Amino acid sequence: MKKRPVLILGARSDIGKATAHAFAASGHPVQLAARNADSLRADRSDIALRYDVEVTLHKFDALDLSSLTTFVECLPELPQIAICVVGLLGDQGQYERYPDTASRMIRSNFEGPACILGVLANRYEERGEGTLVGISSVAGERGRATNYFYGSAKAGFTAFLSGLRNRLTRKGVHVVTVLPGFVATRMTEGMELPAPLTTTPDWVAKAVLEAVKRKRDVVYVKPVWRYIMAIIRCIPERHFKTQNL
């Protein structure tokens, strides 16, 4: 049976490209969506030739909310799987000083991803099948002084995915929350990341592929993060607020 397309939202990111390769290698046609979709022409050719699958490019801006419904309507085929890799890390200090910068980050990590998955969720519910995947973050599991702007946005996205999963679980639609932890990408370049807690885009992509196949709900790409965050969540606030985390 011919496999249906996988839509990668935020396909210019390192994780987006790795995920496209992982699903194409499994025989899925791929729809690559990004603000500057034309910059992915070389990637489209590479993936199509390497895996002998159809690859299409689509202009997509998660922050242009008025365009999201039209974007989905204009896809050549409603995908079987949609994976949202849209996100922005940035600098906590900048967010503390410049509200407009903080707003863009929050919209990039929560509002845009939630809204596009919401549009797709309605189509999947009507069809009675499909899989939605959101790349969130362990940073959303508790607010920390060093990244509470980013963490709060990811917390919102994680809560959204949980609610969406609860809404659609009896509608034939599967919703996956992926929590990578530290990932060595262009976005984290220059940061000192602890090697035992850091993964790669390829490992994230493999985790997403496996989660979709096994219909898992919440995935910690590095399983150790499940235990680390369980401990962090249990620290009483009176003690937690004194920690430099």
Catalytic residue among 51, 95, 150, 220: 150
Rg, Å, the chain Cα set: 18
Distance CA 227, CA 108 (A): 28
In degrees and rounded to multiples of 5, residue 71 shows phi and psi of -55, -50
For residues 60 and 9, is the Cβ–Cβ distance under 8 A?
yes
For residues 43 and 19, is the Cβ–Cβ distance under 8 A?
no
Catalytic, 150? Answer yes
Distance CA 9, CA 83 (A): 6
Helix (H) or strand (E) holding 218: strand 218-220
Sign for the pseudo-dihedral over CA of 166, 162, 118, 173: negative
Half-sphere exposure for 47 (CA within 13 Å, toward CB): 28
Instruction: Tell me 103's DSSP state.
Output: H
Residue in 132, 157, 120, 135 with CA at minimum distance from that of residue 207: 135
The distance from CA 188 to its chain's CA centroid, rounded to whole angstroms, is 16
What residues act catalytically?
Answer: 150
